[in-house]
């Protein structure tokens, strides 16, 4: 067989590889040196990625395939193939890759960050004062640190554009004033793991950064104002939501000429206005659509990928996952509601929503449809309220420890030792309607794993494309899981 293949020209061999599955490509390349040489060509893995990853709607980075080197394209394609096999298996495997323990203080926020084809983990730790740490995402070793001194951090945003100068925006609260620092992440090349954070701009504002996209940053207060600013030119626009007390900002999403501002108790849709110079008076823009979802513990909004190879592309570009906080204090359920946000202005609101504005001034209802729900046990204080919904319809969150498991039993009021049931926090991975599970309208919890290391998870982030989950703890450690 090898002799017959040796007689074929390179183009014919490339066509043969294009007809093979990814495991078959890996097997055939071991036959001889020539087949191995053909198998490392970029065109082979472009064909494989289009057929077995993109057409199958498996999570994959957004870079153009031609922008990746042949070696990197092969690595990412193989990784995505195994991730897709795991997600579509009836028994998903979730592995704890490693845990690192440090003495950096309580980890308050944790995020994945990518730049120049490399990946790290960024954490905000609170000791006496706040510090920002950069961790190697493979070894979980600290490779960089930044701190302004005697200050406390009050929010962080990671740039979604890897090519932008600013990588991290962080709110720094000093004793008498608050500013936002924009930092650039610089690394020293592949030979050295060291990373430095360089200050490139300071914004004189007390608002909190919630979104950083290229040169545009979204800043919000805790009531109603959201400022969209170009941090390089100073141009900005002001968005004002209906005034509600302590309406904590969560997201600002740009889509189809609109800006969707999500807060803890409201969702507002604004027509994207033109930004004006800071030397002029900034006009106030009011929302054309407003709704309230009640009191919630968390919201995650995600824009679905453009499915270039889909026969029936999804009509809804946005999905939203809401972790509701019920009014019944005796309720033992934590409900997750999955919505789809449609661009059609004429779509009726499928779920009943109470608007907190006078009847005469109510804006029209948004095109928001409640698609499915999941209810989970929830009987303890919520230490980690983060939820992350990926673009392909997968989601991750942490359930609190079940504080009602022991009931009225206490080891301090009995003469004899009474065994007290214990409960731990639970990392939960679920799938919702989306490209990865097209054809399914039901939500499903796929796998759960308890935290048994004795620490308390305080924050979390999820990288859907790499299948990685990272959690920070109140003891200063971080844990990395892989799907």
The radius of gyration of the chain from alpha carbons, rounded to an integer in Å, stands at 25
Helix (H) or strand (E) holding 459: strand 457-463
Nearest of 92, 112, 98 to residue 430 by alpha carbon? 92
- pLDDT value, residue 276: 87
- pLDDT value, residue 3: 58
- Give the C-alpha distances (Å, rounded to integers) separating 470 from 97, 99, 162, 383: 10, 10, 20, 16
- pLDDT value, residue 358: 42
Q: Which residue has the tokens 């997968």?
A: 394
**DSSP class of 437:** G
- pLDDT value, residue 348: 38
- pLDDT value, residue 124: 92
Please report how many Cα atoms fall inside a 13 Å half-sphere around the Cα of residue 169, on the Cβ side.
31
Burial class of 470 by CB neighbour count within 10 A (0 to 12, 13 to 18, 19+): buried
**DSSP class of 51:** I
- Give the C-alpha distances (Å, rounded to integers) separating 469 from 95, 111, 314, 482: 10, 10, 27, 6
- pLDDT value, residue 146: 92
Nearest of 265, 270, 227, 226 to residue 248 by alpha carbon? 265
Distance CA 50, CA 32 (A): 26
- pLDDT value, residue 439: 63
Distance CA 441, CA 244 (A): 34
Dihedrals φ, ψ of 383, to 5°?
Answer: -80, -45
Distance CA 190, CA 192 (A): 6
Ranges assigned E (strand) in 343-386: 368-377
Distance CA 215, CA 108 (A): 26
First to last CA, the chain: 38
- pLDDT value, residue 361: 45
- pLDDT value, residue 260: 87
Find all residues with CB under 8 Å of 412, minimum gap 6, and list them.
none
DSSP state string for 84-134: HHHHTSSS---EEEEEE---S-EEEEEEEEEETTEEEEEEEEESSSEEEEE
Nearest of 408, 410, 405, 404 to residue 421 by alpha carbon? 405
Along the 483 residues of the chain, how does pLDDT read in single tens digits?
455 777 788 888 889 899 999 999 999 888 888 889 989 999 999 999 999 999 888 999 877 888 888 898 999 999 999 999 999 888 899 999 988 887 778 899 999 998 877 889 999 998 888 999 999 988 899 988 999 888 899 889 999 888 888 999 999 998 888 999 999 988 765 444 678 889 999 999 888 999 999 899 999 988 888 999 999 998 999 998 886 666 778 888 887 778 888 888 788 888 888 888 877 788 888 988 888 877 788 888 888 887 665 555 554 578 889 888 765 555 556 788 898 877 554 333 334 333 444 434 444 445 778 888 888 876 667 788 889 999 999 999 998 877 655 555 555 555 556 565 567 888 999 999 888 876 677 888 999 888 877 778 999 999 999 999 999 998 888 999 999
- pLDDT value, residue 90: 87
DSSP state string for 291-334: E---SEEEEEEEEPPP-TT-SS--S--EEEEEEE--S-TT--EE
Helix (H) or strand (E) holding 340: strand 333-341
pTM for this structure? Answer: 0.86
Q: Is residue 323 a contact partner of residue 387, using CB atoms and an 8 Å limit?
A: yes
Q: Is residue 110 a contact partner of residue 123, using CB atoms and an 8 Å limit?
A: yes
Find all residues with CB under 8 Å of 20, minimum gap 6, and list them.
28
């Amino acid at each position: 067989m090898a002799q017959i293949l040796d007689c074929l020209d390179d183009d014919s061999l490339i066509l043969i590889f294009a007809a093979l599955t990814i495991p078959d490509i890996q097997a055939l390349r071991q036959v001889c040196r020539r087949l191995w040489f053909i198998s490392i060509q970029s065109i082979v893995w472009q064909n494989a990625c289009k057929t077995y990853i993109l057409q199958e709607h498996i999570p994959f980075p957004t870079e153009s395939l031609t922008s990746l080197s042949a070696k990197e394209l092969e690595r990412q394609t193989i990784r995505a193939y195994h991730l897709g096999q795991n997600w579509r298996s009836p028994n998903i495997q979730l592995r704890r890759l490693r845990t690192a323990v440090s003495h950096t203080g309580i980890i308050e926020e944790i995020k994945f960050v990518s730049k120049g084809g490399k990946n790290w983990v960024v954490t905000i730790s609170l000791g006496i004062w706040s510090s920002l740490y950069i961790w190697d995402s493979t070894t979980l070793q600290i490779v960089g640190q930044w701190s302004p001194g005697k200050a406390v951090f009050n929010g962080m945003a990671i740039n979604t554009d890897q090519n932008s100068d600013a990588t991290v925006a962080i709110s720094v609260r000093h004793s008498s004033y608050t500013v936002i620092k924009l930092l650039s992440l610089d690394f020293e090349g592949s030979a050295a793991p060291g990373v430095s954070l360089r200050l490139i701009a300071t914004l004189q504002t007390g608002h909190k950064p919630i979104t950083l996209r290229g040169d545009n940053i979204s800043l919000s207060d805790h009531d109603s104002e959201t400022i969209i600013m170009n941090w390089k030119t100073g141009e900005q626009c002001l968005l004002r939501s209906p005034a509600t007390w302590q309406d904590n900002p969560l997201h600002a999403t740009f889509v189809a000429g609109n800006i969707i501002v999500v807060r803890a108790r409201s969702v507002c849709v604004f027509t994207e206005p033109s930004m004006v110079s800071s030397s002029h008076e900034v006009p106030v823009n009011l929302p054309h659509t407003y709704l309230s979802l009640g009191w919630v513990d968390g919201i995650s909004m995600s824009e679905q990928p453009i499915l270039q190879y889909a026969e029936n592309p999804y009509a809804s570009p946005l999905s939203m996952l809401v972790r509701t906080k019920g009014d019944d204090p005796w309720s033992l359920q934590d409900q997750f509601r999955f919505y789809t946000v449609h661009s059609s202005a004429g779509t009726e609101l499928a779920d009943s929503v109470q608007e907190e504005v006078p009847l005469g001034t109510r804006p029209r209802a948004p095109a928001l449809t409640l698609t499915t729900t999941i209810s989970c046990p929830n009987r303890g204080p919520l230490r980690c309220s983060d939820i992350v919904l990926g673009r392909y319809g997968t989601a991750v969150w942490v359930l609190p420890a079940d504080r009602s498991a022991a009931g009225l039993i206490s080891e301090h009021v009995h003469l004899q030792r009474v065994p007290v049931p214990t409960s731990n926090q639970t990392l939960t991975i679920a799938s919702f309607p989306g490209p990865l599970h097209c054809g399914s309208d039901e939500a499903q919890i796929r796998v759960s794993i308890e935290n048994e290391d004795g620490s308390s998870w305080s924050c979390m982030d999820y990288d859907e494309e790499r299948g990685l989950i990272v959690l920070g703890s109140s003891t200063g450690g971080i844990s990395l899981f892989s799907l």
